[in-house]
Structure 1
C-alpha cells in the first residue's frame, strides 16, 4: 500500500513549535524592573505571546501601540529578549517525538512565523533545529507576513511540495487564515497561546488538536 500522508509539514513558531513565553516574560520583567514596577507572572502575558512583542508590551506594561512610549518600551523588551532568547524556551512536550517520527518518513518540515528573522534564526540554532528544516520563513522574509498566504506559498516552494499536499499547524487565527488562503490543510495547536476570548472552532481549520501527541496521531492517519 502506498503512503499517502502529506508531503510536508509546517508549523508556526511561538506557541506551536516552541514554548517561548518564559523568555519573553523574563524580558518583560526586566523592563518592569527598569520602570520600578514589580514582576508579573508569566501567566499574565502567555495568552498574547503569539501576537508578538508589541502585544506583550501592552499586556505587561499597559501601554497601547498608539500611546507615547510604546515603541521605546518595545525596543527595550526585544533587546533583553534577544540577549537571552533560549534560556528557558523549549519544544512543547511531545513535539520532539512527533518531529522525529515525521523525519523518519523522509518528508520535509519547516517553520513559518511572523517572528522577525533576528529572533527566529538564533532561537532555532540554539535549540538545534535549524539544520533539520527544509524551510524557515520569518515575518520579514517577504514583504507580506501572515495572514497573507505568501509565507506559506514560499515555504512550499522551498520544500518542493504543492500547497495542497502540505499541512500547517498554528495557534492563532492568522495562522489558519494564511494556511487556508494558501491552499494548505490546517490544524489548530490547542496546546499553544490561545486567549480565552479566542474561538478556534470558528477559524475554519480542518482539526483542533489538544496535544502534540494528537498531532502525531493525526499525521499518521491523515491519509483519510
Structure 2
C-alpha cells in the first residue's frame, strides 16, 4: 500500500549543484584563486556548506578563515538560490503523477528553513508540497527519524504506508528508523567512498524516471 511519498531535497528532488558551484567559483575568483574542478565539490553537496567549503578550499572547519568562507557562501546563496537549480530529470512528471493520484508528497531536508522555504517557492513547488520539514523545525535532524515522523504527521499518513527517497545514508537510516520503506537515489550527490549497497534501502534507482514504476507497484499492493 502507498499513501504518500517523502523526498530529500538536494540531490534527490532538486539538482542544486549548479548554484553552489557558481557561488564557489565566484568566491575563488574574488580571492585570486583558479576555478576548482566541479567533480571535486559535487560529491560533498549532501554534506552541506561545511562539506562544500572544505572540498572547494582545501580547509578544515577548525582552521582560521573557515567561518568567513562559510558566511560568505551562505550569504551569496541566500541572495541567489535558484538561478541554476532544476528538478532532476523525471521528477516533474513524477510529481504530476503523484498529484493526479492524489498522493500527498513532502520534503524532509537538512537544509535550513531560510534556504529551503524560498527555494521551494522559487521552484513553484511550495503550494504543491504537503509537508516541508527542516532541521531548525525539530530537535533532532536526519538520520534521526523525528523529521520524517513529523512530515508523516503533517500529511496525516502512517509511516509504513509512505516511502522516503534520498541520496545519502542518513536519509535511508532516518526512513528505516521511522518504519518506512526507503529508496536510494543513486543519481544524486553520493559521497566519495560510500557504498549504497550497504545502506540497506528497500530499493534503489539510477534515475528519477525509474521511481514511478516502483511506486506504481506499491500503489497496487494492499
Same fold (TM over 0.5): yes
Aligned to 1:132: 128
Q: Does 1:175 align with 2:171?
A: yes
Query: Paired residue for 2:209?
Result: 213
- Runs of 4 or more, structure 1, over 4 Å off, are none
How far does residue 37 in structure 1 lie from its aligned partner after superposition? 0.6
Match of 2:116 among 106, 116, 120: 120
Matched, 1:65 2:44: no
Residue 94 of structure 1: which of 87, 90, 96 is its match?
90
When the two structures are aligned, how many residues end up with a matched partner?
220
CA shift for structure 1 position 41: 3.3
Contact 1:187 1:208 in 2 (8 A): yes
* RMSD (Å), alpha carbons: 1.0
Give the Cα separation in 2 of the matches to 1:43 and 1:82: 23
TM-score (norm 1): 0.95
Measured against aligned partners, the alpha-carbon deviations of 1:19-53 in whole angstroms (never above 9, x if no partner) come to 00010111111221222111223222111101100
Aligned equivalent of 1:53, options 26, 46, 49: 49
Alignment gaps of 5+ in structure 1: none
Distance in structure 2 (CA, Å) of the matches to 1:41 and 1:151: 34
Which of 74, 78, 88 is the equivalent residue of 1:78? 74
**Range 41-50 or range 79-88, more displaced:** 41-50
> Is residue 22–residue 42 contact of structure 1 (8 Å, CA) maintained in 2?
no
Q: TM-score, structure 2 length as denominator?
A: 0.96
1:220 and 1:83 map into 2 onto residues whose CA distance is: 39
2:139 alignment partner, one of 139, 143, 146: 143
SS of 2:9's equivalent in the other structure is coil
CA contact 2:46–2:191 (8 Å) conserved in 1: no
Q: Provide the rounded CA distance (Å) in 2 between the counterparts of 1:173 and 1:43.
A: 20
Distance 1:112 1:17 in 2: 10
Aligned to 1:28: 24
Distance 1:82 1:39 in 2: 22
